[in-house]
Structure 1
Amino acid sequence: MFRWFEQRLDPYPTDPPQMPPRGLVRFVLHYSRGAMPWLVLLAIGSGLIAALEVMLFGYLGALVDRLTETGPAGFWAAEGGRLIRMGVVLLLVLPVLNILTTLVMHQTLLGNFPQRIRWQAHRYLLRQSMGYFQDEFAGRIATKLMQTALAVREVAMKVMDVAVYVLVYFAGALTLAAQQDWRLALPFVLWGLGYAVLLALIVPRLGRASEAQANARAGMTGRIVDAYTNIATVKLFSHSAREEATARDSMHDFLGTVHRQMRLAAVQDISLNLLNAALVASTTALGLWLWTQGAVAIGAVAVAIPLAMRLNNMSHWIMWEFAALFENIGTVRDGIGSLALPRMVTDAPGARPLAVSAGAVRFEDVTFRYDADPAERPLAVLDRLTLDIAPGERIGLVGRSGAGKSTLINLLLRFHDVESGRILIDGQDVAQVTQDSLRAAIGVVTQDSSLLHRSVRENIAYGRPEATEAEIAAAADSAEAAEFIPRLADSAGRRGLDAHVGERGVKLSGGQRQRIAIARVALKNAPILVLDEATSALDSEVEAAIQTQLDRLMQGKTVIAIAHRLSTIAAMDRLVVMDAGRIVEQGTHAELLAAGGLYARLWSRQSGGFLPVDHDAADAAE
């Protein structure tokens, strides 16, 4: 039975992820679509339970009257049938309804519903533009994803469960009291008005406090995760005390929102206690007065006073449920600001997979600036750049930091869209093909190749997940990684290819990480290869050892290599020299030295094989 209800709502829908709407109601409805039938069933069950409970209270008053009217002798004959029917309601109908709503709530919704939201939101975020992740803490994004999923669940379920139950129960109680005598309904009406005023004054403030708290919590978590992620930098600069102060500031901001919330909660509790005391006292006094005046039977008093006491007991629960509802609404609103953002780079309508036949690459009159508003940043990072790379040609991009080399690669990978111009691969505009197929056709090894906190095997196989064990071993061997992999071990006792490498590969040395990254790209075997300072983390001996393997890896591929150490790319078919976003020279190493231009000056000025940094150009690229 449990499994059947657990399988009613698919936590991992396969529909393509879509951008959620930014309005609160539409956002909640967007993530509640698959769960809506079960939310409606929960609401129907809660409404029926409330109506039956009020009906039982009403029958209690009638029963008291009949006890006084019939006496013991004729009671069973007059009341037996109704007692049996009420017994069926009490012992069968209500338990069945409670079991049904409990199963729907706990088995179908509480676990699957937020998991479904996390899954859909995570799939959408994975396809977000690179700029989105560059502007946010990873820990902050993850926190908002998790807490927003739970908040959407709570908003939807409290509206469909608690709100329906409370409305039906209060309406039933008011009707039942009025049926005895309209004056008995007055304390309930006045209490309801006072309760509504209290809700209107306190609960929205709690919602705003919760929104601020959710934002402060995400910021606090993001700062702490940022320190843990960069723990090596913290220790290298002896900044533990500085990070403590930073964390304390964010914790203090968070605690301030908690204090504001708790003050509102205290005011709410004090006010509600006074309001409840007035309800019970006025209902009791009015009921007794009406009975002494002969206006109502004793059964009416027996109904009104328990109803007032029941509402007294329920009121704190109701208030906290509504407060929690508005707190979660605040959390959802906060999450909308991070989750419901459009992708800056999207597949064009009707985009087709890239088909690479030869590997020709053309940058055609490309202009790009990181700030799209020319008034804010008049200097373009790339300025009307045109570059043709023949199939199988190996070119080296040369230039000082900030010249635009890495930006050129990022545009080829379509991490950003060009401001004007086109980038073509075998005649196909990269803006008109699917991003997944584009990046599948390009193998990239960067200067800071981060690894996933998984096994060495999984990291290498990330290049081609269906690869065999022999292919993974061959890729590791080609990157000169087979020598150190067998010696790897982690805290769980896993060794070799099974050893986990830590977050971003922190358990490996820089050279080891780079060789795993090279093995990963070797296994991918894409027709276009990008080497962005691919050997910068390797010592000279290891670099020399794998240079032959890199040469083999480049065979038959179109290669774009970036290196500040010019000796590593001097043997390329062609060197392209960039400066301030433009191509200023092209040719072989020997031709450029003979020309005596910028390349020759850079070559002669190198100290230890590295290019000097042009700080002005670097600032312009940031």
Structure 2
Amino acid sequence: MVHRLLTLFESWTQPLPDIEPSTPPKGLLAFCRHYTKGFEKPLLIMSILTATLAVLEVSLFGFMGQLVDWLVSKNPDTLLSEEGATLIGMSLMVLVLIPLLTLLHALIVYQTLLGNYPMAIRWLAHKYLLKQSISFYQNEFAGRVATKVMQTSLAVRETVMKLLDVLMYILVYFTSMVVMMAKADWRLVIPMASWLVIYIGLQWYFIPRLKSVASEQADARSTMTGRIVDSYSNISTVKLFAHTHQEAQYARSSMREFLTTVHKQMRLVTGINVSVQVLNYLLAFAVAALSIWLWMGSAISVGAIAIAVSLALRLNGMSQWIMWEISALFENLGTVSDGMNTLSQPTNIEDTADAKPLAIPHGGIHFNNVSFDYGEKNGVLQQLELDIKPGEKIGLVGRSGAGKSTLVNLLMRFYDIEYGAILIDGEDIRSVTQDSLRSNIGMVTQDTSLLHRSIRENILYGRPEATEAEMLAAIKKAQADEFIEQLTDPHGNRGLDAQVGERGVKLSGGQRQRIAIARVLLKDAPILVLDEATSALDSEVEAAIQESLYQLMEGKTVIAIAHRLSTIAAMDRLIVLDQGKIVEQGSHQQLISQGGIYAQLWQRQTGGFLGLD
């Protein structure tokens, strides 16, 4: 019964909503509302329950004062007969109504909201960030982005729930308290009103400063985390250059910046804490003194004194809680504001409203007068015109910075071209969905990045629905079967189930490359891009899998980039790029005979490698 009740409230809201996230708005209120969709009803009911419980709690103080007056004035023998109905009603309220409302409030808060609400925010923010362009992640620490997602989701939850739960409770409770004291004697409201004015003044002074510091602290925290994660993610480079001390100092400077914000925050906390405590004791003294003076003048009863002093003492305890809740509210507002700057960035590369899946019956590619410059003044590609026939295999050649990788990045639509068009079988790649475009292009890069998962999961990433037999065939073609069998991890997994470590750090460069080649072999896309695909392999392994690469190329349109010219000399056509333009094209022999840039590069190679000029 209890389990079913808990499950009922846990399933009231969806922590992983099946909707496509849109760009969050920039305004603070609009941003919070954006991530509150689907949680409006439980939040509203929670707020109503909070207000009801606040009224009921204050009414208990009123009943206590009434009870004191009865004990002073009434006959014990006739008390039950005269006030029995009232006593029973109050008993039911204390023993039945308030516990039931408290249970319902707790179920909504703890089962429906506290877990599901921030998880829904994380899920939608994560889905949205996955659609961000490559340039977005090139400008941010991965750890910093992840921290923003985690911090902001909790901050939005706390902001909304404190506004609707805590502040509602405070508002209703204080209003009910003032009304009850005014009923006893309006003069009792004077110290309460004076306390409220000064209390608001203190909050007005301290809270904005706490909010400002909280925003600085959230940014400093994410930067600190980002630097630490960056060191861990690139630990091989750190060790390679013996920069352990430098990395520690790099993190230390961000920790000092974070600690500076903490010290500023704690100084403000000390000031507001001492100020509120002194104010509370003044309130308790003023209410008690005024109550006694009014009682001496027969203006109020003993019960009224009991109500006034009890409420003043209750407010004394509550004020500390109120102070921290309001401080936390503004701290969370600062965190939301900081996170919003990252999470609300619009996506640079978007599918059009009528984008359709790309179908590739042939595989022809046409770069039509393409210009692109990464937002700089000097174009990386300038009015490039290139027609690749279906099934043609071309090699891209050129010095570093000539535009080879840029051309491939534009084909993958990691960036949108500034002028011209890229067509695949006559379809502008901007008119099709990004997922369908990239699913039809297999790519092996020089800097192979593997997911921190098992070998099996990394290879099946190429085609998750592939059978075990198809996966094993791809592994064998990539000459990766022997070393995979020998792999183990600290958790006792072996072979295909062994974890590769972050970015594949547990594997050698050649092993990572062969896993990547197996992944693309399994993907079996009609267009193949090889960006220094064999650069991490030794000559023996490269020779062993070269035949597999040729098999992979069969029936596909291929674009291959290689500084080791011997690996692409047999392509159908070689394209030589220089300063973003095609300056030569033809077969290997034709380009050698021309005596141009390609011939110079070929002559300067030693052992098949390009010179550093």
TM-score range, shorter chain: over 0.9
* 1:146 Cα deviation from its structure 2 partner: 0.5
2:14 equivalent to 1:10: yes
Q: What residue in structure 2 maps to residue 297 of structure 1?
A: 301
Q: What residue in structure 1 maps to residue 42 of structure 2?
A: 38
Q: Give the SS at the match of 1:72.
A: coil
Q: Give the SS at the match of 1:364.
A: strand
Alignment partners' CA distance in 2, 1:229 and 1:55 = 59
Equivalent runs, 1:597-608 vs 2, <5 Å:
597-608=596-607
* 1:611 Cα deviation from its structure 2 partner: 2.5
2:275 equivalent to 1:276: no
Alignment partners' CA distance in 1, 2:78 and 2:429 = 91
Q: What residue in structure 1 maps to residue 239 of structure 2?
A: 235
Summarize deviations over 1:420-462 as a string: whole Å, max 9, x none.
Answer: 0000000000011100000000000000111001110110000
Match of 1:191 among 184, 195, 201: 195
Conserved in 2, the CA contact under 8 Å of 1:394 and 1:559?
yes
Conserved in 2, the CA contact under 8 Å of 1:210 and 1:330?
yes
Q: What residue in structure 2 maps to residue 424 of structure 1?
A: 423
Q: Give the SS at the match of 1:392.
A: coil
Q: Give the SS at the match of 1:212.
A: helix
Q: What residue in structure 1 maps to residue 251 of structure 2?
A: 247
Match of 2:184 among 154, 174, 180: 180
Q: What residue in structure 2 maps to residue 374 of structure 1?
A: none
Match of 1:87 among 91, 111, 114: 91
* 1:187 Cα deviation from its structure 2 partner: 1.0
Conserved in 2, the CA contact under 8 Å of 1:151 and 1:331?
yes
Q: Give the SS at the match of 1:356.
A: coil
Conserved in 2, the CA contact under 8 Å of 1:475 and 1:522?
yes
Residue 320 and residue 140 in structure 1: after superposition, are their counterparts in 2 closer, same or farther (change >3 A)? same
Q: What residue in structure 2 maps to residue 133 of structure 1?
A: 137
AA aligned to 1:116 is A
Summarize deviations over 1:219-257 as a string: whole Å, max 9, x none.
Answer: 000001101111111111111111111111000000000
Query: Structure 1 stretch 113-122 or stretch 68-77: which is displaced more?
Result: 68-77
Q: What residue in structure 2 maps to residue 468 of structure 1?
A: 467
Conserved in 2, the CA contact under 8 Å of 1:366 and 1:422?
yes
Q: Give the SS at the match of 2:452.
A: coil
Q: What residue in structure 2 maps to residue 453 of structure 1?
A: 452
AA aligned to 1:147 is Q
Summarize deviations over 1:396-432 as a string: whole Å, max 9, x none.
Answer: 0000000000000000000001010000000000011
* 1:41 Cα deviation from its structure 2 partner: 1.1
Q: Give the SS at the match of 2:75.
A: helix
2:218 equivalent to 1:218: no
- Structure 1 residue runs of 5 or longer lacking an equivalent are 372-376, 615-622
* 1:76 Cα deviation from its structure 2 partner: 1.2
2:86 equivalent to 1:76: no
Alignment partners' CA distance in 2, 1:512 and 1:239 = 26
Equivalent runs, 1:436-585 vs 2, <5 Å:
436-585=435-584
- Structure 2 residue runs of 5 or longer lacking an equivalent are none
Q: Give the SS at the match of 1:71.
A: coil
For the aligned residue pairs, the C-alpha RMSD in angstroms reads 0.8
Alignment partners' CA distance in 2, 1:127 and 1:596 = 46
Summarize deviations over 1:460-502 as a string: whole Å, max 9, x none.
Answer: 0000001111111001001000111100000001000010100
Report sequence identity in percent.
58
AA aligned to 1:506 is V
Alignment partners' CA distance in 2, 1:386 and 1:131 = 25
Q: What residue in structure 2 maps to residue 383 of structure 1?
A: 382
Summarize deviations over 1:57-115 as a string: whole Å, max 9, x none.
Answer: 11221222222222212211111110110111111111011111111111111111111
Q: What residue in structure 2 maps to residue 618 of structure 1?
A: none
Conserved in 2, the CA contact under 8 Å of 1:114 and 1:149?
yes
AA aligned to 1:333 is S
AA aligned to 1:564 is H
* 1:609 Cα deviation from its structure 2 partner: 1.9
The aligned length equals: 609
Conserved in 2, the CA contact under 8 Å of 1:403 and 1:581?
yes
Q: What residue in structure 2 maps to residue 51 of structure 1?
A: 55
Alignment partners' CA distance in 1, 2:53 and 2:485 = 64
Conserved in 2, the CA contact under 8 Å of 1:5 and 1:108?
yes
Conserved in 2, the CA contact under 8 Å of 1:400 and 1:612?
no
AA aligned to 1:444 is M
AA aligned to 1:192 is L
Query: Structure 1 stretch 564-573 or stretch 55-64: which is displaced more?
Result: 55-64
Residue 613 and residue 383 in structure 1: after superposition, are their counterparts in 2 closer, same or farther (change >3 A)? farther
Alignment partners' CA distance in 1, 2:551 and 2:585 = 25
2:328 equivalent to 1:324: yes
AA aligned to 2:603 is S
Alignment partners' CA distance in 1, 2:349 and 2:546 = 36
Alignment partners' CA distance in 2, 1:230 and 1:567 = 32
Equivalent runs, 1:322-361 vs 2, <5 Å:
322-361=326-365
Conserved in 2, the CA contact under 8 Å of 1:401 and 1:613?
no
2:362 equivalent to 1:363: no
Q: What residue in structure 1 maps to residue 292 of structure 2?
A: 288
Alignment partners' CA distance in 1, 2:565 and 2:273 = 72
* 1:613 Cα deviation from its structure 2 partner: 4.3
AA aligned to 1:109 is L
Q: Give the SS at the match of 2:92.
A: helix
Alignment partners' CA distance in 1, 2:374 and 2:263 = 41
Q: What residue in structure 2 maps to residue 620 of structure 1?
A: none
Conserved in 2, the CA contact under 8 Å of 1:43 and 1:161?
yes
AA aligned to 2:404 is K
Alignment partners' CA distance in 2, 1:101 and 1:194 = 32
Alignment partners' CA distance in 2, 1:342 and 1:370 = 17
Equivalent runs, 1:109-124 vs 2, <5 Å:
109-124=113-128
* 1:5 Cα deviation from its structure 2 partner: 1.0
Summarize deviations over 1:340-390 as a string: whole Å, max 9, x none.
Answer: 10001101121111110100000000000111xxxxx32100000000000
With structure 2 as the length reference, what TM-score do the two structures score? 0.99
Q: What residue in structure 2 maps to residue 63 of structure 1?
A: 67
2:168 equivalent to 1:168: no
Q: Give the SS at the match of 1:484.
A: helix
Summarize deviations over 1:564-618 as a string: whole Å, max 9, x none.
Answer: 000000000000000000000000000000111111111111233222345xxxx
Alignment partners' CA distance in 2, 1:577 and 1:611 = 14
Q: Give the SS at the match of 2:76.
A: helix
Query: Structure 1 stretch 61-70 or stretch 35-44: which is displaced more?
Result: 61-70
AA aligned to 1:438 is L
Equivalent runs, 1:261-272 vs 2, <5 Å:
261-272=265-276
Q: What residue in structure 2 maps to residue 309 of structure 1?
A: 313
Equivalent runs, 1:580-599 vs 2, <5 Å:
580-599=579-598
Conserved in 2, the CA contact under 8 Å of 1:393 and 1:573?
yes
* 1:120 Cα deviation from its structure 2 partner: 0.4
* 1:2 Cα deviation from its structure 2 partner: 1.2
Alignment partners' CA distance in 1, 2:612 and 2:338 = 42
2:158 equivalent to 1:159: no
* 1:31 Cα deviation from its structure 2 partner: 0.6
AA aligned to 1:481 is A
Alignment partners' CA distance in 2, 1:203 and 1:279 = 22
With structure 1 as the length reference, what TM-score do the two structures score? 0.97
AA aligned to 2:482 is E
Q: What residue in structure 1 maps to residue 402 of structure 2?
A: 403
Query: Structure 1 stretch 411-420 or stretch 35-44: which is displaced more?
Result: 35-44
AA aligned to 1:58 is G
Match of 2:102 among 93, 98, 103: 98
AA aligned to 1:18 is S
